[in-house]
Chains A and B, each alone.
Chain A
């Protein structure tokens, strides 16, 4: 039934198209097509979109649409227009309504409809750029208004649109499209946020992020060659300037990050910040505010902000007061359990690699890490023990932590103060790494072995941490499991049942029934 209907509609559409392209006399049939754009049936809509694409594509190429400032439709047209012009004006209005329809269709529930309307719109963008619908003031021309509409359709406020964004990816390859899209996004964010007045829009922000993070910037001006529309004197156009691109990029991101983000999005932004945002900004220092705020949030977000901060400190002369103190306070019990552990420790390694750091600071870090290691899982332990050893190697004055031959015979308490936020006050240098000694009796043999290395004098060469950083518990498990054993030792005490062993602990607290 539906199929027959759609076939019927398709035939009608075909006829309309023929008629419209054939002569101007049947111009009114264009309404039939536009009507079908709002049909219920997906198939019909799709074929209507196709028809529109062909029809207006042809009109654009033929120049059958009015060029210049469009007079409003309601008001009667002044007599100065000829009949042909009136027709063109009328047809231009139809074109506009078609575009509006298509933008609406980008919010259709069917992805196919969305996709094909997106493609059609982009086709119009391309054709409009070639055959401008506005009076050409200067030689470069791009249908920005149309693109803004497309972008608006791409980042809806209610539903998820990451799929469509990824479809849009191929258009973003074109430098001009990307440039104007970035501008459009920046404007869009401004508009939407102003309208909602700080009411958080998680879905919208997520969509924006999906769209924005998929933009890949050129790293060099010479790479800017791929244009949707070719012009003469291309080089003079601002679209071909990398600086302009960067500026647009920067404005877009800053506009996006100006507003409060949900924490999951926060993390996502921070994850990509250092290698896909900061390098493409004209003024990375503009990110300082954002990063310092993030660094002060605490927890995983702080850990992630560290990377961006590091780049700013390293390359952009950022002076961060009490950086190490803050870093020190970042080390808490959860640091071994967060997802970005490897990344954090890599940075921590980097920050502590300087040999000019005071030894009290390094000792405090080592001691704090050791203290935290008492709660760490084996995968983290395998990483953090060599890490601490490396710290001691880099700073020989800290070796008193594992070797204090002239110290007091016995102490009643550990002099190290864990609660102290200031590393210099923590008295770490007076302490010893008893925690590592404790870990020598860890249940996992490899951890115990690693911890036993402090018994001997440390070797000169630092341990390589790169592989250990990424280690997960499952990998340890897998490694243990794959070790080929020649023998399987067996329990020699026979059992009488599930809880029937000698000194069975479970039997003391559990019963079978």
Chain B
């Protein structure tokens, strides 16, 4: 039972003007009149509401009560029969749709053509479209529904008419006038329509006649026309034909153009990886077999040349007389030796290339580098083949075979395995790479990567992540070797990059770990001795790799920012004692500048370091003394004259060139030392120039660069070679050219604090007369509790009223039943009494 409260009010509002019996109205007196408050319940009408409630109960509760013990229910399933919301039109539409659905047969679902004809006035639209002017028969007319308005009105008469008619039929006997007039009317109508029909027919006949006539006329005239035009027409035709050809061609071209048609599905990365691994596995099995010296099994077919035009339809020429194209030391191999080894290895190569090709097509650029390395390795294996071949050529006659086998075995053992288990430790990786050439090492790593692609197995991810760590370690070791094998490092970088792209998080954490260890070591040394030596080349390489793997221009980056702090420590806390230190320091400077080249950030340590380096290039003591106050790190460097060129003769032989990185480690003889000094000075000046460009826009550019400028002026330029002098001049002009403008600083304007306002603070009153809670949530809770209570009360009241109503109904039922019974009993008694009376009367009569 819903609440009837609100509707009550509405009902009363409607009913009020009708009749107002003062005894039926209950006035709810208001204590205070409040302006603007709408009062709904100022008057109550208990009688009306009670009767309403009663009515509602009879409609719902009583019905339920009566159907209490009945199990079967009558259901009216007509659509929208009891729904007042739907208009009758919609109702009909829905019913119609349902009907259509029912008649719609299942088998015709897919029959697109046999659509239901769309009709207009019962006539198929398709027919109308064709505009067939076929004369219609008389019978047709009526069916097509071309009825005049009067006819329709007369026949069907609309709703009103029908009702009227019904009423008429009810009262037919009483009124005689009407039927007569109606009969007349109908007759009249029929006559009219017939007349109309006749008229239309005659009209149609007329038009038909006229058309026929026109046609015949045209035929006559056509004869003349056709006689006159042929020549020009032909010319035109030729031209048109040419033109049409062009056009046709275009059309056909368009028509026959390759349309996007479903091709073979693109292979997913997993599939590619799987294929790759399968291939490697296959090759590995092959290699093993050849290593053991087993003959090729017959079941396995030789790898055949497959033409690019091969349709792969199983059609094979009877004889495969084509030779494989193979090269021997750059010359085409024309000899007709059926060396299986050669064939096979070239086959493999080809496979390689092909596979690579497809991979390249489908996979992204990232693999392009792989390609490259693989191709390189192919070269390697090509060489091997030729070596094997050369060996084989020596063998002749019957011995040939034996030798061949031996050679094969040898080649196989030389060849790399095709699959590798991912190394579990750094030692394992080292064992794998030990004693191999650079290309082979790269190939090995490539194969490890391929055979452990993360899409092949879940644990491969962790394996490759580990591999990254080992590779980093390996790079460190390569860089620490004497001399450093930087070429290999260089080649390994793309691999690192790819791995990094795959597992950014693991890589980032790994690099962080390295940084942490190194910085921790340095901190320990610093604590003990107060200064730490420059790190070795491997760390410098790591720093470079960080710049390669991660974007250095980020404001904050989990890896790059710490590495910059580390570099700053290198530049401030490491004393420069040897030329090697100078080169290391300058390399760090270079890196640092590269780190900030995009973000254009200011590095005080860098400028300080350059200052330190330049300071070392100035020989005369008294000049140096004046700058001690500007140099923050005077205590660090003991070796003041490190960069002073000792022999001017060396300056003449100096050539400007890039510094090789291995100078960082090796110590060179003194003559070269002077060259190195000059190179360092040159590099330093270059970096100063870069700084000047980079920091030109800073407001204190001048303050930053002034010490450097003063130092530059004191440099013994005359002893330097011309190239350096030029550079030196360039730097000085660059520094002096910078025009500095100082704008006084002005703070950004603070937002004005709003004035205090004196309008009252408005607090929402949720429940008038209730104690206001300060806490909003508490308020809400209280409100809900109150509401719930009220609802509960209302519901209880309703239930009570329901019960009363039911009890009342039951009582009336019982009373009815009793009175009925009483009545029946009375009647019985009456009849019995009558019988008795009759019997007594009979008795009296008899006696």
Contact = CB atoms under 8 A, between A and B. Distances in A.
B747 A334 contact: no
B515 A376 contact: no
Nearest to A408: B744
B504 A488 contact: yes
B594 interface: yes
Given A333-B630, A413-B740, A510-B590, A474 B494 contact: no
Interface string A392-424: 000000000111110111111110000000000
Contacts of B556: 445
A495 interface: yes
A463 interface: no
Given A454-B745, A473-B568, A481-B562, A438 B633 contact: no
B494 A494 contact: yes
Contacts of A413: 702, 740, 742
Interface stretch (B132-140, B195-203, B263-271, B603-611): B603-611
Interface string B449-473: 0000000000000000000000000
Given A489-B554, A510-B659, A378 B565 contact: yes
B516 interface: yes
Interface in B154-210: none
Interface stretch (A51-59, A199-207, A428-436): A428-436
Nearest to A443: B601
B365 A494 contact: yes
A402 B743 CA distance: 11
A497 B369 CA distance: 11
Q: Which of B530, B596, B601: most chain A CB closer than 10 A?
A: B601
A496 B700 CA distance: 38
Contacts of B486: 498, 512-513
Q: Which of A410, A439, A442, A480: most chain B CB closer than 10 A?
A: A480
Interface string A477-512: 110110101011111101111111101111011111
Contacts of A374: 604, 700, 703-704
A339 B659 CA distance: 36
A489 B494 contact: no
A487 B504 contact: yes
Nearest to B633: A337
Contact of B629 (A332, A407, A414, A435): A332
A336 interface: yes
Contacts of B505: 487-488
Contact of A480 (B500, B561, B590, B740): B561
A456 interface: yes
A117 B599 CA distance: 69
Given A438-B704, A477-B519, A510-B659, A432 B490 contact: no
B555 interface: yes
B554 to A, nearest CB: 6
A504 B594 contact: yes
Interface in B554-588: 554-559, 561-562, 564-566, 568-569, 572-573, 586-587
Contacts of B504: 487-490
A405 B591 contact: no
B686 A509 contact: yes
Interface stretch (B22-30, B335-343, B544-552, B793-801): B544-552
Q: Which of B516, B551, B604, B690: most chain A CB closer than 10 A?
A: B604
Contacts of B544: 498-499, 506
Contact of A474 (B550, B569, B595): B569
The A interface is mostly helix, strand or loop, or mixed, namely loop
A398 to B, nearest CB: 12
A504 B501 CA distance: 20
A150 to B, nearest CB: 34
B541 interface: yes
Contacts of A433: 745
A334 B590 contact: no
Interface string B672-702: 0000000000010010001000000011111
B744 A495 contact: no
Nearest to B747: A403
Nearest to B679: A509
B516 A443 contact: no
B750 A333 contact: no
Contacts of B661: 510-512
Contact of B548 (A411, A455, A501, A509): A501
A174 interface: no
B355 interface: no
A375 interface: yes
A268 interface: no
A266 to B, nearest CB: 15
A492 B553 CA distance: 12
Q: Which of B526, B607, B629, B700: most chain A CB closer than 10 A?
A: B700
Interface in B720-735: none
Contacts of A146: none
Given A488-B505, A490-B501, A481 B745 contact: no
A504 B490 CA distance: 14
Contacts of A407: 744
Interface in A27-83: none
Contact of B602 (A438, A455, A481, A499): A438
Contacts of B69: none
Nearest to A407: B744
A440 to B, nearest CB: 9
Contact of B683 (A411, A457, A509): A509
B742 A432 contact: yes
B689 to A, nearest CB: 12
A401 B742 CA distance: 13
Contacts of A496: 369, 493-494
Contact of A455 (B573, B599, B605, B747): B747
A476 interface: yes
B742 A434 contact: yes
B607 A375 contact: yes
A94 interface: no
A487 to B, nearest CB: 7
B551 A491 contact: yes
B704 to A, nearest CB: 6
B565 A480 contact: yes
B658 A509 contact: yes
Interface in B491-535: 491, 493-494, 497, 500-501, 504-505, 507-508, 512, 515-516, 519, 523, 526, 530
A481 B516 contact: yes
Given A403-B746, A441-B602, A495-B493, A378 B568 contact: yes
A437 interface: yes
B699 A334 contact: no
A217 B605 CA distance: 45
Given A498-B493, A499-B490, A490 B500 contact: yes
Contacts of A488: 504-505, 507-508, 550, 558-559
Interface string B48-61: 00000000000000
Given A443-B595, A494-B365, A412 B741 contact: yes
B631 interface: yes
Given A403-B747, A481-B515, A487-B504, A497 B629 contact: no
A259 interface: no
A358 interface: no
B557 A489 contact: yes
11 contacts: A376-B604, A401-B745, A402-B745, A438-B701, A455-B748, A474-B519, A489-B554, A490-B550, A498-B490, A506-B590, A508-B658
Nearest 8 CB-CB pairs, A to B?
A: A485-B558, A488-B508, A333-B632, A407-B744, A443-B601, A404-B744, A497-B490, A505-B594
Interface of A: 332-334, 336-337, 339, 371-378, 381, 401-405, 407-414, 432-435, 437-439, 441-445, 448, 454-457, 473-474, 476-478, 480-481, 483, 485, 487-492, 494-501, 503-506, 508-513
Given A412-B742, A477-B566, A495-B494, 18 more contacts: A371-B703, A377-B572, A377-B604, A378-B568, A402-B745, A402-B747, A403-B746, A434-B699, A457-B748, A481-B558, A489-B504, A489-B557, A497-B491, A501-B547, A510-B659, A511-B659, A512-B487, A513-B487
